Amino acid sequence: MVTIRWKTGLVLFWALSAVVGAPQLVAQQDSAAEATQQRLDDLDQQIKVLSRRWELYQDSVINAAKSRPSVTAGATGFQLKSADGNFVLKLRGYLQADARVYLSDDAQVLTNDLLLRRVRPILEGTVYKYYDFRIMPDFAGAAPTIFDAYFEARFKPEFAVRAGKYKPALGLERYQSATDVKFIERGLPTNLVPSRDVGLQVAGDLAGGILNYNAALFDGVPDLASGLNDVADGKDLVGRLFVVPFAKKADNPPVDLGFGIAASTGDELGNITTTALPSYRSPGQATVFRYLTSTTTPITGTVIADGRRERIIPQAYLNKGPLGLLAEYAISRQEVARDTGVTRTTEKLEHKAWQVEGSLFLTGERNSFKSVTPKKQFDPFAGGWGAFELVARYGELDFDDDAFPIYASPTASVTEEKAWAVGLNWHLGRNVKLMFNYEQTQFEGGATTGDRPDEKFFATRFQTSF
């Protein structure tokens, strides 16, 4: 009985203790819950702060990347470009090292030679998005020469303005870059167009690139010349229209076709010191025609430019798959005068030249007016041997018969050149090329008795560009 009462009392005590301590326990639990919630709130706030800071950091990284200029290097050269693309600086260039051998040159008129044909760094750039410039010197000659130095404003594809020294848009093969030509030396029609001149030009592409036009005013330099300062007040007007029918299908044209016509006209007046007349070369770069001067003939009197000079050059190229063709015809007319001190004679002379050039990629690359990238770069360890291109051409250059003997000596200057050439171009990569050419030229006149001996010219070239 006592035991039951004791157990009952203990239960009552526990129950009473629970009733008395419950409010305190609840208070303690509420306090702990509030502390936990506060910590959770603090952690949530810290997470939000850290998340915002991360967003701000990411934005700053993105903004920094957007404002940071980019630097690239590749097959097309080295480039520094502002983040907005409005300012660009490019460093490019090319080098051509040649070997020349003249066969059957018993008189040793020409020298077998190893030479640097062209050493040309190129600096190009864009400022304020629309304005380009180009500077290209050449260090291969006896003294450095500036070949290109011009500024161009590209307002839209249909209209651009260029000023400075550059190639007049006349000869088609001359217009090709020296890195893109199929032969080591350009063909005979290039004799009848200038190399570089100083002038002002407007040009553009119309109808989505189908029609290209050039219209320019130049100082006016003789054929083959690269001018800097004019020798007379007369200027040359130069114009060119060129059609590329499938320009809008550039990715997959049925054929790569281009054809057009270029012309120039202007007055040129030379003097005894500066005749403003050219001399002309063979494919092997030997001088084969020059006008008479008082120092080159026993007959007194120097021939000078004395009036209107006109050029007209129809031209075309066609590329279909691995096959490529280029053709052009050039006419150069010049009024000349010769004063012997006793008599003065004048004449308008007309020289004419033409050529047809063909090439075939044995390795199947698609032919182009510009350089071709091989399907497989030269890498014998990976089974790549580059691209192989066979080339051939034939051309003629006819000097006006009225030039002889009053304005040119028939025993020193030829009356006609006929040249044929074959070659192999090995494109190791887009930027490296080996060239092998053989060219034979037959002359009429140009020797003391009869014809100048045939020129048999073998040449090789190593070219690298970037």
Q: Are 90 and 132 in contact (CB under 8 A)?
A: no
HSE, side-chain direction, 13 A CA sphere, residue 418: 5
Q: What is the pLDDT of residues 337-354, one digit of tens each?
A: 998 777 889 999 999 999
SS3 state of residue 38 = helix
Confidence category of residue 323, pLDDT binned at 50, 70, 90: very high
Which H or E element spans position 328?
strand 323-339
Q: Which residues contact 357 (CB under 8 A, 6 or more apart)?
A: 173, 182, 183, 187, 325, 326, 327, 391, 392, 393
Q: Are 275 and 304 in contact (CB under 8 A)?
A: yes
* Interior angle at CA 367, CA 366 and CA 372, nearest 5: 85
Q: Are 324 and 317 in contact (CB under 8 A)?
A: yes
Q: Both tokens of residue 239?
A: 């114009």
Q: What is the pLDDT of residues 239-273, one digit of tens each?
A: 999 999 999 887 788 999 999 999 999 999 998 88
**Residue 348, CA distances (Å) to 239, 289, 306 in order:** 22, 17, 9
Q: Which amino acid is at 157?
A: P
This prediction's pTM: 0.83
Q: How far apart are CA 313 and CA 241, in angstroms?
A: 11
In this prediction, residue 7 carries a pLDDT of 58
Of 292, 290, 135, 180, nearest to 224 by C-alpha is 290
Q: Both tokens of residue 178?
A: 């020296």
Strands 414-429 and 70-74: what pairing? unpaired
Buried/exposed 19-34: b ≥16 CB within 10 Å, e otherwise: eeeeeeeeeeeeeeee
Q: Are 348 and 335 in contact (CB under 8 A)?
A: yes
Q: Both tokens of residue 47?
A: 């997470």
Over the chain, what is the mean pLDDT?
90
Looking at the DSSP assignment, which residues form a beta bridge with residue 13?
none
Confidence category of residue 93, pLDDT binned at 50, 70, 90: very high
In this prediction, residue 2 carries a pLDDT of 47
Q: Are 407 and 277 in contact (CB under 8 A)?
A: no
**Residue 421, CA distances (Å) to 3, 284, 316, 390 in order:** 133, 11, 20, 11
Q: Which residues contact 7 (CB under 8 A, 6 or more apart)?
A: none
Q: Inform me whether the pLDDT recorded for 1 exceeds 60.
A: no
Mean pLDDT of 399-422: 96
In this prediction, residue 77 carries a pLDDT of 86
Q: Can you list the positions of beta strands (E) in 188-249?
A: 197-206, 211-218, 236-243
Instruction: Give the range among 89-93, 116-120, 339-343 with minimum mean pLDDT.
Output: 339-343
- Residue 454: DSSP 8-state: P
Mean pLDDT of 215-227: 94
HSE, side-chain direction, 13 A CA sphere, residue 357: 29
Q: Which residues contact 60 (CB under 8 A, 6 or more apart)?
A: none
Q: Are 203 and 215 in contact (CB under 8 A)?
A: yes
Q: Inform me whether the pLDDT recorded for 5 exceeds 60.
A: no
Confidence category of residue 19, pLDDT binned at 50, 70, 90: low
Which H or E element spans position 136?
strand 131-138
Cβ-in-10-Å burial (0-12, 13-18, 19+) of 6 comes to exposed
Q: Both tokens of residue 52?
A: 């915002």
Q: How far apart are CA 197 and CA 147, in angstroms?
A: 9
Strands 344-361 and 256-269: what pairing? unpaired
